[in-house]
Amino acid sequence: MKTTNNLLFSLIGILSMISLSGCKNQFVSDVNNTIQPVPFTSVKVTDDLWAPRIKRNHEVTIPIAFGQSEKTGRIRNFKIAGGLEEGKFQSNYPFDDSDVFKIIEGASYSLQTFPDPGLEAYLDTLIYYIGLAQEDDGYIYTYRTIMGDDSHPWIGAKRWEKTHILSHELYNIGHMYEAAVAHHQATSKRTFLDIAIKSADLVNRDFGWGKIESYPGHQEIEIGLVKLYRVTGNPKYLDLAKFFLDVRGGGEEYNQAHKQVTEQTIAVGHAVRAAYMYTGMADVATLTNDSGYVNAIDKIWQDVVYKKLYLTGGIGATGGNEGFGEPYNLPNMSAYCETCASIANVFWNYRMFLLHGSSKYYDVLEKTLYNGLLSGVSLTGDRFFYPNPLESSGQHKRQEWFGCACCPSNLCRFIPSVPGYVYAKTRNRLYVNLYMDNTAKIELDGKTIEVTQQTKYPWNGKVEMTITPDLPLNFTLCLRVPGWSQNEAVPGDLYHYLNNNENEIILKINGKAKEYSPDKGYLIISRKWKKGDIVELDMPMPVRKVIAHKNVEADRDKIAIQKGPIVFCAEGIDQKDNHVLNLVYDPETNLESEYRSELLNGVQIIIGEAKSTKRTVDGGVIMENNQPLTLIPYPVWANRGSCEMMVWLPTTKEVSRPLPAPPIVVSQKPGKITGSLN
Ligand SMILES: [Zn+2]
């Protein structure tokens, strides 16, 4: 994390798509074919992994985050700016308002799963303070209101003067718009939404072509404005989001202002700023069908996924700029992989899916969700990682809080929104994108369908779904077949399985054969569905050995272990001498998986053998005898104290890329269909 003054700060933002109801305006060309989210409020997750995380976020993380905001003066700043109390700006940074907004957003989502009158009343109080802190014309930025113009090198002699550098004025209120939309959707109250609208109307008065033509130094308001547009239906907010993207250029690579956004083809600079911007671009591309945006965002996605993505889904390799490094520069111990950047990567890939309807975006999303994002918070919900490295000599430890608190406040709002990523729909299509135990009630073409999933995912690839429409209904079910089950460790050519798996994926519908055609990574099943129809999908999930592209020097002649979407790591505490950095692995050694209900709240582990090594005084290496090797899921490392950890295991012999995988076989007994699912 960055706490030095001369470094630009990473802040973050996020959002989770909640209901995007009624896209009724001139921007949407064909609502019937547009993929729409199925809001998390329609999906009740009951599994052993996410349901406890969502509960802990409500019971532990959100109260801690509000407690820290009280303790550090972040909340008092609003009271002082609103004239209720006297004093100076209390906390560290002019962007600290954003943390309070993000926690309110998370609490609003959480209220929908866990109704809590005490929490709702607390939010009402906070919103009252925020309203008082808002100046008469809609401006809200407690630092300037309390301390005055020019009181901090970042904020400038007047409003908006340093918005393109470090003032974070637009960044803060972008988070406020997201929070206000969430609060409105959770409570139906307009209190916070009206504050946000008043603010956005001021921004619209001051910024635009022929007005202030400046861009935000930290992107985020673009996402917030799109959400405001979706909830109000007022196209001026979408126009303003597009303006803040189109006006970029002539500035720094650090915040992606070096070129016009439609001229950008590679990912550069600060990773969270970048991924928020790409998220905003994908939103605008989806809503306007602007081909310049679509072309640019497709190229940037390719650059990230083929050259700059960690196996854990983390992005932003280097700590100096908290951002993207050169292609294939993916160091493990010094990997930055900020938690916020993982969250932003999920936002971005989600919108890429909404734009293109292809499951490869979900492959990246799922990999990030289950690995580089989830590692950001401890199983107890009260300790946080800012960077998420892939190797440690024991120096890494989750912290209670950070001076720059972007990551924990981002987790507060992300975790409760996870159920919203399970399904999506068009007028007559239902997409199943993630597999986890849940019951959902989904509106399709005015009819309600109840869907349940039963599965041990991510530990096992068997999923049983029950489809229950009110009345028999014709629609198309699109089941995602993850890339990991198709001999693809991650989309692109950055990571490959060492060996191909030729086990079949099996699909059964009420035990009967029925034609379907694979498309864009989905099994497309069109039929008249009736009450109690059962769909069984069985994706073999063996332990897989992964190698990286030969240009990734940090991973050369190393192997990582993946099973389903989960990446595994060796942690010192599980090995006989508490060390892992001295281990080497014979790539031909067999690995077995095993479920341990008592370990780390219930996880699968991988068991095998490795050799330990010793260095001699003359610099040689002595290989010792085999010893047992135990691997745990990467997202739960560092929950048992600090110790050595390693994702990429050095091997005893060279490993290289295997032959290309044959097309996967999907069978639907008793018939069998072969085809490419891409
Ligand atoms: Zn962060």
Q: How far is the CA of 408 from the centre of ligand 1 (A)?
A: 7
The CA R_g of the chain, rounded to the nearest whole Å, is 25
* pLDDT higher than 90, residue 572: yes
pLDDT band at 31 (very low <50, low <70, confident <90, very high): low
pTM attached to this predicted model: 0.93
Q: How far is the CA of 22 from the centre of ligand 1 (A)?
A: 32
Q: How far is the CA of 275 from the centre of ligand 1 (A)?
A: 12
pLDDT score, position 511: 86
Q: How far is the CA of 10 from the centre of ligand 1 (A)?
A: 7
Place of tokens 């064909």: 30
Q: How far is the CA of 168 from the centre of ligand 1 (A)?
A: 15
pLDDT band at 621 (very low <50, low <70, confident <90, very high): confident
Q: How far is the CA of 498 from the centre of ligand 1 (A)?
A: 34
Mean pLDDT lowest among 199-203, 574-578, 666-670: 666-670
* pLDDT higher than 60, residue 250: yes
> Kind and range of the H or E element at 107?
helix 97-113
Q: How far is the CA of 286 from the centre of ligand 1 (A)?
A: 27
Mean pLDDT lowest among 193-202, 207-216, 621-630: 621-630
User: Please, are residues 662 and 502 in contact by the beta-carbon 8 Å criterion?
Assistant: yes
pLDDT score, position 662: 53
DSSP state of 83: T
Compute the mean pLDDT over every residue in the chain, rounded to the nearest whole number.
Answer: 91
Alpha-carbon span 341 to 543, nearest angstrom: 28
Q: How far is the CA of 528 from the centre of ligand 1 (A)?
A: 46
* pLDDT higher than 50, residue 673: no
> 288-297 — which CB contacts under 8 Å span 24+ positions?
288/27, 288/238, 288/242, 289/29, 290/242, 292/262, 293/245, 293/261, 293/262, 294/355, 295/262, 296/261, 296/262, 296/263, 296/264, 296/265, 297/352, 297/355
Amino acid at 348: W
* pLDDT higher than 80, residue 112: yes
Q: How far is the CA of 322 from the centre of ligand 1 (A)?
A: 10
Q: How far is the CA of 9 from the centre of ligand 1 (A)?
A: 10
* pLDDT higher than 50, residue 6: no
* pLDDT higher than 60, residue 16: no
Q: How far is the CA of 184 from the centre of ligand 1 (A)?
A: 25
Alpha-carbon span 401 to 328, nearest angstrom: 32
Q: How far is the CA of 206 from the centre of ligand 1 (A)?
A: 29
532: alpha, beta or left, given left = phi > 0 and alpha = psi -120 to 50?
A: left
Q: How far is the CA of 272 from the centre of ligand 1 (A)?
A: 8
- The rounded percent of the chain whose pLDDT value lies above 90 is 86
User: Please, are residues 384 and 401 in contact by the beta-carbon 8 Å criterion?
Assistant: yes
- Give the residue from 167, 123, 161, 162 showing the smallest Cα distance to 141: 167
pLDDT band at 4 (very low <50, low <70, confident <90, very high): very low
pLDDT score, position 616: 82
Q: How far is the CA of 218 from the centre of ligand 1 (A)?
A: 13
* pLDDT higher than 80, residue 404: yes
* pLDDT higher than 80, residue 676: no
